Amino acid sequence: GAGVSQSPSNKVTEKGKDVELRCDPISGHTALYWYRQSLGQGLEFLIYFQGNSAPDKSGLPSDRFSAERTGGSVSTLTIQRTQQEDSAVYLCASSFREAGEAFFGQGTRLTVV
């Protein structure tokens, strides 16, 4: 595709439910990043994938959060047993190379009620 695609655009879920957020990076981009942005706040790093290397999970806030990247392309961020503090916009970005220009998707706005 022409850009990074994220789905769904919006997700409302009940506290305690699991959610899956999807990111389809730009074709050929080997690096993929997940960030989240709470209302009025800065971008918080979650996880980084580079090619076939082990992901950098240092930003995941708890063991309720996990992510995978299948075939070096599409990535799924899973949040288990969602809490209200998980409400935020989850942003995915991809870049052609490590430390190269990164382009963001439109984000998934997650609301936990």
- Using DSSP, state whether 26 is helix, strand or coil: coil
Report the residue number, 16 or 61, with the smaller CB distance to another protein.
61
In b/e form, how buried is each residue of 49-71, taking b as 16+ CB within 10 angstroms?
A: bbeeeebeeeebeeeebebebee
Report the residue number, 25 or 105, with the smaller CB distance to another protein.
105
Q: Which residue has the tokens 């963001």?
A: 104
Q: Name the helix (H) or strand (E) containing 88.
A: strand 88-95
Instruction: State in angstroms the smallest separation of the CB of 16 from another protein.
Output: 28
Decide if 77 contacts 35 (C-beta within 8 A): no
Instruction: State in angstroms the smallest separation of the CB of 30 from another protein.
Output: 13
DSSP 54: P
Report the residue number, 14 or 58, with the smaller CB distance to another protein.
58
Instruction: State in angstroms the smallest separation of the CB of 75 from another protein.
Output: 15
Instruction: State in angstroms the smallest separation of the CB of 98 from another protein.
Output: 5
Radius of gyration of the chain (CA): 13
Report the residue number, 80 or 104, with the smaller CB distance to another protein.
104
Write out the residues near another protein by the rule CB under 8 A.
33, 35, 41-43, 45, 48, 50, 56, 59, 89, 91, 93, 98-107
